[in-house]
Amino acid sequence: MNAFLEFMKTFLILFAELTALFILISFLVSLLQQKVTEERIKRVLERPNKWSGYLYGTVLGALTPFCSCSTIPILAGLLSSKAPFGPSMSFLVASPLLNPVIVLLLWTLLGWELTVYYVLIVGAFSILIGVVWDLLGLEKFVKNVRVRKGSGDAQMDEPKWKVALRDAWGFFYPVLPFLLLGVFIGAFIHDFIPQEMIARFAGGDQPWTIPVASVIGIPMYIRAEAILPIADALVGKGMGIGAIIALVIGGAGASIPEVVLLNKLFKPKLVTAFVVSILVVAVSTGFIVQTVL
């Protein structure tokens, strides 16, 4: 009975903290996204200094959608309007991996130092992927994208804070089942899985866990907001931090739903390049973080 009560206490505290944090961040980012429109993103990426476009694409990706699937419609609009290919690809990589929810949840659960390393490394890889893909001429593997834009006049007269509140709930409601699942698994690991078991099979001194975790992250994708509570519990039980980061990047960056959607925009060779690139980012970031921290 005592063990069950401790489990419920861990579950409720973690769920309440993450719910409040998620809704607050969603509200603030919605306010920001009402300013950072698709048209503004395209104008920024088309700056005369081509090389700065990769940096801008990465930064704007970090300020926009919450998950990989919601990135694809914006990317389709950018490609349809002939935005530069390389910076658009930096945007594609950065958007699910550096969005404010992941960054602030990482900060809250795993600490500021790890979060800083994560942001710097993933940001550098986002820029590098855009540059390399552009130099390799992979733009020819983009399908003929045409997007019919709708009208946003219905929201023109509505106060921005009301739109942000509705968006915050709209972001949170679909995530709620996954967040509950992630918190449940995290609380279960925290209170019932022996620390020795985790350390034995996935301890920090076993580097093979990092590439394995990056591959496992793709099929087990349940949104990064759900993976992070699990990651927090696994770290507390002794799992290597490099494997945790690889798991998060693999799941958030190249989820099965995203790959399916990308097939509508990309030819198979570019989809393959995307998946391989995300796995390289996951494994490399995992090893770097494991070595430095």
Q: Which residue is it, tokens 């903290």?
A: 17
User: What counts of helices (H) and strands (E) characterise the chain?
Assistant: 14, 0
Residue with tokens 């800083």: 116
How much is the pLDDT for 268? 92
Q: How far does CA 3 lie from the centroid of its chain?
A: 34
What's the chain's length in residues? 293
> What integer pLDDT is reported at residue 269 of this predicted model?
94
DSSP 183: H
**How many other C-beta atoms are found inside a 10 Å radius of the C-beta of residue 145?**
16
What residue ranges of the chain have pLDDT lower than 70? 1, 25, 29, 32-33, 36-38, 40, 47-49, 65-70, 145-157, 171, 175, 182, 186, 189-190, 193-205, 218-228, 256-257
Q: What is the pLDDT of residue 152?
A: 47
Those residues with Cβ within 8 angstroms of residue 108's Cβ, 6 or more apart along the chain or in another chain: 17, 21
Tokens 């709708």 belong to 150
| Closest listed residue to residue 227, CA positions, set 245, 239, 212, 210 | 245
Q: Are 22 and 101 in contact (CB under 8 A)?
A: yes
Angle of CA points 23, 26, 27, to nearest 5°: 85
Rg of the chain's alpha carbons, rounded to an integer? Answer: 19
Average pLDDT over the chain reads: 78
Farthest CA pair distance, the chain: 66
Question: Can you give the pLDDT at residue 153?
Answer: 47
In 3-state terms, what secondary structure has residue 147? coil
pTM of the entire predicted model: 0.73
Q: Which residues, in sequence order, are CB contacts of 125 under 8 Å at separation 6+?
A: 93, 280, 281, 284, 285
Query: Cα(266)–Cα(184) distance, rounded to whole angstroms?
Result: 37
Distance CA 167, CA 173 (A): 10
